[in-house]
A and B are shown apart, each in its own frame.
Chain A
Amino acid sequence: MARAQTDERSELDLVAIACLVPSLLYVVLMFVYPFLYGLYASLQPPKGGAWSIANYLAFFSDPYQYRTIETTFALAIPNSVVVVLAALFLAYGMRRGIWMERTITTILVLPISLGVIFLSEGILGFYGTNGWLNQMLIGAGILAEPLELTHNFIGVTLSLFMQQFPFCFLMLLGYISGIDPSLESSARMLGAGPWTVFRRVMLPLIAPGLIIAFALVFVMSFAVFPSAVMVGQPAGSTRTISIAAYQQAFEQYDMSYASAIAVIMGVCQLLALIAIVLVRRRMTIATTMGVGKR
């Protein structure tokens, strides 16, 4: 009996491994190899010679370079918080379905399908110094001088919000509408008003999804490049770490230094993700114990 079981299991394992091969191969070729190559390149200065951490030392001794980490965090964290909170607010309001739901969802999701470039062009056309918004406000006599909404921090924030909000909203809507509606009813029957229901019942149940959504939005924001160039101020206030890497690679042609910056960027994202996962674990031990075992 025991023997039959092990046989069965090893057979299953073989099938499982066989099924995994294509995706493993893909991950190795498209992620692991480039990553290791980048790591290797970053430790090999272009003049040749021995292994060296000179690139990393150069990065961290040059304020012009290491400040990009600060700039990127300053852009990514507030943006992720705003996106997640706005998506939470809207998704929670729509959790039981609303009038014209499909139309509204389609409009909300449309920006995803447009692509960053188109979106950024749109932002320039509408929010730009000579954009519709400023022309309207000046024409109406509300403003004398146009608002500076593009080619700065605000422009990038607008662009990031438009790209990430739909994605985050959809993710949270799926998560929230998956929560059993009778939990809400039962909390109300026990004396909880709508706000208490949210705070004491729904929020603890949404929290794991919220944190994952935050992590994904954060990682996407951290890698921001096109919008930082197009609607930001790539030489100044929105010089993110990806711009620093780009300049090293394609303006200075120093692939080794560029690789080092890319590695630093990856490490920053990884550290942030680890912090987020740790928070999530602390918050959700209790929740996950009760789920899926009905």
Chain B
Amino acid sequence: MSDSIGHLRVDITKRYGGKTVLDQLRLEIRGGEFVTFLGPSGCGKSTALGVIAGLIPASAGEVWLDEQRLDRVPPEKRGFGMVFQNYALFPHLTVFDNVAFGLSLQSRPAAEIQERVQSMLGLVRLSGYESRYPGQLSGGQQQRVAIARALILHPRLMLFDEPLSNLDAKLRIEMRAEIKLLHSRLGLTSIYVTHDQAEALSLSDRIVLLRDGVLMQVGTPQEIHDRPRNLFVADFMGFRNFFDVRLGEPAGGFVEGMGRSLKLRARTAQDFSAGPDAIMAIRPDDIRIGKTSDGVNAVRGKVELVEYLGREQEAVIAIDTETRLWLRTAEKVTPGDEIALTLPADKLVLLPRE
């Protein structure tokens, strides 16, 4: 590897008619980094990937890889690899010919093609399947062929467009681990589009959360998971309990928030400047059953509904006539129980009101 390390810089806007589906998405992706575009359907994540790939023309902006400007370069000349949601294998070609497709376009010698295809099929554990047709393979195998087909060209950038969403749950987790392993072995700069937060958390170095074409938050999986910056990110990342509060003066690293029926204390966040009107949020599985000795953030409520989820259960707790809490616990709760709960201060997240 010379100085082409796969450092990607994008600033893209995409409009369809009058509708802006990507609004000045500005990003820098370091060489070797694995970045996920995460968001609900219609958030613009696949469009962003298509624009970076060159398959969708941008309305405005630039795409740079290392020192090369690429936004006017057609997709076949960008040297990127892409894996599609429906695999997009060529049905009329064998596994071997599918994987060899890119090399044969470069008119490489047959011996080299033979050798590289063999070793690539070995890498994705498909040796022996050379003469099968895509229609004779399972979904997981097809996706491995698709990955091999892209990787064999040593792409400067790998793009994944929801590659696992057509697989069943078990296979999805296996393939996820395989993609992670391939990335750590080959160290290719990668962009991965998904709507599945578990996939994003487990694979990424950084997550880019999008909503309606607008960048909501960029951060490491830990940052996105633990410190969402706004209501949308918190909601998307699994926070279910939101309280409108009026914040008091921060003191001793904590800040008090007065809700309509609750008084809560949370750790002050350095980067939080909105307020005094704010939202406090907590995940269902961060709420503890029982009361702490100091009685801070303790609430009482009545169990309304219990959903069995296997290892744990999710319960809806009525605090008063209007306030409900979602709780996830391994302890046994039954509808009708009166229980005491604690909302740990360091698990409460402060969000600006929108």
Which chain A residues have a beta carbon within 8 Å of chain B's beta carbons?
180, 182-183, 185-193, 196, 200-201, 204-205, 286-287, 289-294
Contact = CB atoms under 8 A, between A and B. Distances in A.
B84 A290 contact: no
A191 B101 CA distance: 9
Contact of B82 (A185, A290, A293): A185
Contacts of B232: none
A204 B75 contact: no
Contacts of A294: 86, 135
Contact of A290 (B55, B134, B146, B159): B134
B221 interface: no
Nearest to B142: A294
A200 B103 CA distance: 13
Interface residues of B, number: 34
A189 B82 contact: yes
Contacts of B82: 185-186, 189
A186 B88 contact: yes
Lowest 5 A-B CB distances belong to which pairs? A290-B91, A293-B135, A186-B88, A290-B135, A190-B102
Nearest to B94: A286
B102 A289 contact: no
Contacts of B136: 289-290, 293
Contacts of A290: 89-92, 133-136
B92 A287 contact: yes
A85 B252 CA distance: 80
Contacts of B149: 186, 190
A292 B91 CA distance: 10
Contact of A189 (B76, B86, B89): B76
B112 to A, nearest CB: 16
A204 B153 CA distance: 23
B76 A192 contact: yes
Contact of B75 (A188, A201, A292): A188
B233 interface: no
Interface in B125-173: 133-136, 146, 149-150, 153, 159
A189 B80 contact: yes
B290 interface: no
Nearest to B134: A290
Nearest to B93: A286
B135 A191 contact: no
Identify the interface centre among B79, B88, B91: most chain A CB within 10 Å of its CB.
B91
A187 B101 CA distance: 8
Contacts of B133: 286, 289-290
26 contacts: A180-B86, A182-B84, A183-B90, A185-B53, A185-B55, A186-B84, A186-B89, A187-B90, A188-B54, A188-B55, A188-B75, A189-B76, A189-B81, A189-B150, A190-B101, A190-B102, A190-B105, A191-B77, A192-B101, A196-B105, A286-B92, A287-B91, A289-B133, A290-B91, A290-B136, A293-B136
